[in-house]
């Protein structure tokens, strides 16, 4: 157990040192026109119900959970966290910025990060 904790601590230290600078202050929500334009830069995401949504399907639960773990580390580094559900091999993700009551650039930054993680699979 100590080896696992040490490994996780090393990962967190590395991520903190190497993370990009993301906005940590309030961002206003984007307009629907801005959202539609930015959706062109993320594959498989759609805008509805005041949030970005996508679904991924994996071979099994272990693969889905592995990706969720990698996303969790990146979300923590960006200080922006998804709403998500997982049932067996399916992962449903919704992104919105609750403080802005809508979608902001932070949501698109996390969507792009999630896409990069998925593309690495």
> Is residue 24 included in any domain, yes or no?
no
Share of the chain above pLDDT 90, in %: 65
For residues 95 and 59, give the distance between their C-alpha atoms in angstroms, rounded to a whole number.
24
> Is residue 42 included in any domain, yes or no?
yes
> Is residue 16 included in any domain, yes or no?
no
> Is residue 101 included in any domain, yes or no?
yes
Tell me how many domains the chain contains.
Answer: 1
Give the domain extent around 61.
32-119
For residues 102 and 2, give the distance between their C-alpha atoms in angstroms, rounded to a whole number.
41
For residues 72 and 14, give the distance between their C-alpha atoms in angstroms, rounded to a whole number.
15
CATH number at residue 46: 3.30.1360.20
Q: Over the stretch 53-74, which tens digit does the pLDDT of each residue have?
A: 999 999 999 999 999 999 999 9
């Amino acid at each position: 157990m100590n080896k696992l904790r040490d490994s996780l601590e090393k990962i967190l230290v590395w991520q903190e040192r190497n993370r990009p600078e993301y906005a940590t202050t309030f961002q206003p929500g984007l307009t629907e026109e801005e959202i539609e334009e930015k959706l062109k830069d993320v594959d498989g995401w759609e805008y509805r119900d005041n949030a970005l949504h996508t679904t991924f399907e994996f071979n099994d639960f272990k693969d889905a959970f592995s990706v969720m773990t990698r996303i969790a580390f990146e979300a923590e580094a960006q200080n922006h966290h998804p709403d998500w559900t997982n049932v067996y091999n399916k992962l449903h993700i919704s992104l919105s910025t609750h403080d802005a009551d809508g979608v902001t650039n932070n949501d698109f930054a996390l969507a792009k990060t999630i896409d990069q993680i998925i593309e690495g699979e």
